[in-house]
């Protein structure tokens, strides 16, 4: 079976709990900034542009938004979701069983090739012999895009393919990727000599290296080797589907955080663009009800992309419920606990999981909650581990989005939420 997950790690995360640089053991990344998500730009002939392009050297959300939209974010949901013209709950009428959700993204990539709108699509496949090891793919046929359906939930150096784009004289390109990749791509877009670029974004948070994904599965699942699909769902639990079709569910509150907190790269803990705000079209799930995908149309190009896919889609209402602001003070207080603190007792965890499902935020309110929690956690991470770079790495909208919690924040941490005087 070529498709099996080879579990090689069991002892601990690859970089050791609480080590602040990413992949310190990985020779490939020597000489890179300590905040690195391995987006692939540094593998390319444009690596000298890294200081101007990398989101972890200088976050350029504000200027890229100006270029794409002629403006910055307005108060309200744009502060959390990024600038968008429209948002929908949608899914494929005939879902692809191999896809992560219903297969909207790979169908779209394939359609762009079928209709000759692009000559190539940069997408992420699985390395031969593995199920989940991410490998960038330059797809030239619809079949090649469709073969990359499904998440490979680990860091993928997709931008290392830009040399091939230039070498093969490709002028019309679609790029599918995460927000750190999209930030770099937007920053170097003009250097690529493209006539047309479609940027399709997936929301992304807390990505990991492949060895750490293997380690994560050993810690979370009763049968890590047979996991064929997993997703962090809107019902506050992780669903893991196994080879035999059975679904294992693990409540977030039951995660062994004392064994997991070291697996997340410093870069992902310093990321402030969970919803992939600089792409043309974001396709995720977390703002939609269970079973539906959440689609944010950001640009005119994004509108064109959605039109292409519309004949295959069914739509539903975006809904919302609950009140995220009720849980946020507790969340802020928990940020003061040392990372990896022991889990609460079993019965308390059961009760918390029940209350989260029953009374927790739902739909768009769930997306707001989870995005704000990551903004808060990551702001704190940068302040505690990389304080000198705060003014370069934390974009403007973070402080505005978190303003409703400013008082709780300053009481808890005895410092203002607003940007300090970090060095530039
Ligand atoms: C690491 C990771 C974390 C995510 N977290 C969230 C989240 O918290 N909330 C949310 O709403 N959505 C999240 N997503 C997106 C979501 O899981 C689905 O990928 C998305 O909704 C598309 O589903 P689909 O069925 O349309 O995609 P499919 O048609 O199955 O296509 C999946 C696409 O994802 C791309 N892809 C797979 N792995 C990677 C990777 N490692 N890096 C870059 N691209 C990749 C492939 O190129 C493929 O084109 C995450 C995705 C990844 C990879």
Domain boundary among 293, 313, 333: 313
CA of 67 to the centre of ligand 1 (A): 26
What's the Rg (C-alpha) of the chain? 20
How many helices (H) and strands (E) in the chain?
A: 16, 13
Whether 196 and 328 map to the same domain: the answer is no
Q: Are residues 113 and 59 in the same domain?
A: yes
Using the atom order of ligand 1, give the atom closest to the CA of residue 207.
Answer: 1
State the residue for tokens 């000489």: 31
What CATH number is associated with residue 85? 3.40.640
Taking the CA of residue 149 as reference, the ligand 1 atom at the shortest distance is 30
- Give yes or no: residues 53 and 118 share one domain: yes
Residue 84 lies in a domain: yes
Q: Is the CB of residue 286 below 6 angstroms from any atom belonging to ligand 1? A: yes
Nearest atom within ligand 1 for CA of residue 108: 29
Q: Are residues 288 and 382 in the same domain?
A: no
Sign of CA dihedral 170, 176, 181, 185: positive
Nearest-CA residue for atom 46 of ligand 1: 124
Neighbouring CB atoms inside 10 A of 52's CB total 12
How far apart (Å, rounded) are the C-alpha atoms in residues 184 and 207? Answer: 17
- The residue among 313, 334, 366 that closes a domain is 313
Count of all residues that appear for the chain in the document: 424
- Alpha carbons 274 and 180: distance in angstroms, whole number: 9
Asked, for residue 295, whether it belongs to a domain, the answer is yes
Quick check: is 355 in a domain?
yes
* Spatial distance between the Cα atoms of 116 and 175, rounded to a whole number of angstroms: 15
Question: What angle separates helix 406-413 from helix 324-334, to the nearest 10 degrees?
Answer: 20
- C-alpha dihedral, 83 to 86 to 87 to 90, nearest 10°: -140
Q: Ligand 1 pocket, 179 CB below 6 A?
A: no
Answer yes or no: is 220 within a domain: no
Contact (Cβ atoms closer than 8 angstroms) between residue 390 and residue 383: yes
- Does the beta carbon of 205 sit less than 6 angstroms from any atom of ligand 1? yes
From the CA of 125, how far away is ligand 1's center (Å)?
Answer: 11
Three-state DSSP string of 332-348: HHHCCCCCCCCCCCHHH
Q: Is the C-beta atom of 389 inside 6 A of ligand 1?
A: no
H helix or E strand, kind and range, residue 198: strand 196-201
Give the distance (Å) from ligand 1 centre to CA of residue 424.
Answer: 34
On whether residue 19 sits in a domain, the answer given is no
Query: Which of 89, 113, 124, 202 maximizes ligand 1 atoms within 8 Å of its Cβ, making it the mutation to test the pocket?
Result: 202
pLDDT of amino acid 39: 95
Contacts of 113 (CB under 8 A, 6+ apart): 119, 120, 121, 139, 140, 141, 142, 145
Token pair of 182, please? Answer: 């999209």
CA dist 267 → 60, 132, 180, 261 (Å): 16, 21, 9, 14
Half-sphere exposure (CA, 13 Å, Cβ side) for 272? 29
Same domain assignment for residues 58 and 83: yes
142 DSSP 8-state letter: H
Tell me how far the alpha carbon of residue 186 lies from the centroid of ligand 1, in angstroms.
19
Rounded to whole angstroms, the Cα distance separating 5 from 163 reads 30
Helix then strand then coil, in percent of the chain rounded to 5, is 40, 15, 45
Each residue's pLDDT, cut to its tens digit, for the chain (424 residues) gives: 333 334 444 456 665 544 544 444 466 676 777 788 999 999 999 999 999 999 999 999 999 999 999 999 999 999 999 999 999 999 999 999 999 999 999 999 999 999 999 999 999 999 999 999 999 999 999 999 999 999 999 999 999 999 999 999 999 999 999 999 999 999 999 999 999 999 999 999 999 999 999 999 999 999 999 999 999 998 999 999 999 999 999 999 999 888 887 888 889 999 999 999 999 999 999 999 999 999 999 999 999 999 999 999 999 999 999 999 988 999 999 898 876 667 788 899 999 889 888 889 999 999 999 999 999 999 999 999 899 999 999 999 999 999 999 999 999 999 999 987 555 4
Same domain, 399 and 290: no
Residue 387 shares a structural domain with residue 283: no
Tell me, yes or no, whether 308 and 342 share the same domain.
Answer: no
Residue whose CB lies within 8 A of the most ligand 1 atoms, among 87, 100, 149, for a mutation test: 100
278 and 405 housed in the same domain:
no
The answer, yes or no, to whether any atom of ligand 1 lies below 6 A from the CB of 275, is no
Residue with the two structure tokens 């640009």: 299
Give the residue carrying structure tokens 């979701």.
81
For residue 377, the enclosing domain spans 320-413
Ligand 1 within 6 A of CB of 104: yes
Distance CA 253, CA 353 (A): 7
Distance CA 340, CA 383 (A): 18
Hey, which of 151, 178, 234, 281 would you mutate to test ligand 1's pocket, going by the most ligand atoms within 8 Å of its Cβ?
Answer: 151
Number of domains within the chain: 2
How far apart are alpha carbons 389 and 233 in whole angstroms? Answer: 33
In this predicted structure, what is the pLDDT of residue 338? Answer: 72
Q: Are residues 356 and 293 in the same domain?
A: no
What is the Å distance from ligand 1's center to 151 Cα?
A: 5
According to DSSP, residue 241 is labeled E
279 Cβ below 6 A of ligand 1:
no
Domain finish residue from 282, 298, 313? 313
The secondary structure of residue 270, as a DSSP letter, is G
Q: Tell whether 308 and 324 lie within a shared domain.
A: no
* Residue 13 included in any domain: no
Alpha helices in 195-345 (DSSP H): 210-220, 257-260, 300-309, 324-334
Q: 221 in a domain, yes or no?
A: no
Q: Which residues of 82-109 are buried (b: 16+ CB within 10 A; e: fewer)?
A: bbbeebbbbbbeeebeebbbbbbbbbbb
Evaluate whether residue 262 is within a structural domain.
no
Q: Are residues 305 and 341 in the same domain?
A: no
Residues paired with 297 in a beta bridge:
86, 281
284 sits in which H/E element? strand 281-284
Structure tokens given for 40? 């692939």
């Amino acid at each position: 079976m070529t498709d099996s997950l080879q579990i090689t790690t069991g002892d601990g995360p690859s970089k050791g709990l609480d080590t602040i640089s990413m992949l310190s053991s990985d020779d490939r990344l020597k000489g890179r900034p300590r905040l690195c998500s391995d987006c692939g730009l540094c593998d390319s002939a444009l690596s000298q542009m890294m200081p101007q392009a990398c989101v972890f050297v200088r976050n350029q959300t504000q200027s890229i938004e100006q270029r794409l939209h002629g403006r910055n974010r307005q108060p309200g949901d744009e502060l959390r979701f990024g600038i968008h013209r429209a948002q929908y709950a949608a899914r494929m009428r005939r879902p692809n069983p191999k896809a992560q959700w219903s297969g909207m993204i790979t169908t779209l990539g394939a359609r762009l090739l079928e209709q000759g709108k692009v000559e190539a699509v940069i997408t992420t496949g699985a390395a031969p012999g593995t199920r989940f090891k991410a490998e960038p793919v330059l797809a030239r046929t619809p079949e090649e895009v469709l073969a990359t359906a499904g998440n490979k939930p680990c860091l993928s150096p997709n931008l290392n393919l830009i040399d091939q784009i230039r070498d093969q004289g490709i002028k019309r390109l679609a790029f599918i990727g995460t927000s750190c990749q999209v930030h770099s791509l937007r920053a170097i877009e003009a250097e690529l000599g493209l006539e047309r670029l479609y940027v399709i974004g997936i929301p992304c948070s807390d990505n990991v290296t492949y060895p750490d994904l293997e380690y994560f599965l050993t810690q979370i699942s009763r049968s890590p080797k047979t996991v064929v699909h997993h997703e962090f769902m809107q019902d506050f639990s992780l669903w893991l589907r196994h080879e035999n079709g059975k679904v294992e569910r693990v409540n977030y509150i039951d995660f062994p955080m004392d064994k997991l907190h070291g697996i997340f790269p410093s870069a992902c803990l310093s990321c402030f663009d969970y919803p992939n705000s600089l792409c043309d079209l974001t396709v995720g799930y977390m703002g939609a009800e269970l079973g539906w995908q959440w689609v944010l149309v950001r640009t005119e190009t994004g509108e064109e992309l959605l039109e292409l896919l519309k004949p295959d889609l069914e739509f539903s209402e975006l809904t919302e419920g609950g009140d995220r602001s009720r849980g946020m003070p507790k969340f802020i207080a928990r940020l003061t606990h040392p990372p990896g603190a022991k889990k609460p007792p079993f019965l308390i965890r059961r009760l918390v999981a029940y209350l989260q499902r029953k009374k927790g935020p739902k739909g768009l309110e769930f997306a707001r909650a989870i995005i704000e929690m990551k903004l808060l956690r990551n702001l704190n991470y940068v302040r505690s581990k990389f304080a000198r770079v705060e003014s370069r790495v934390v974009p403007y909208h973070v402080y505005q989005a978190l303003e409703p919690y400013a008082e709780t924040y300053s009481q808890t941490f005895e410092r203002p939420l607003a940007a300090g005087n970090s060095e530039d």
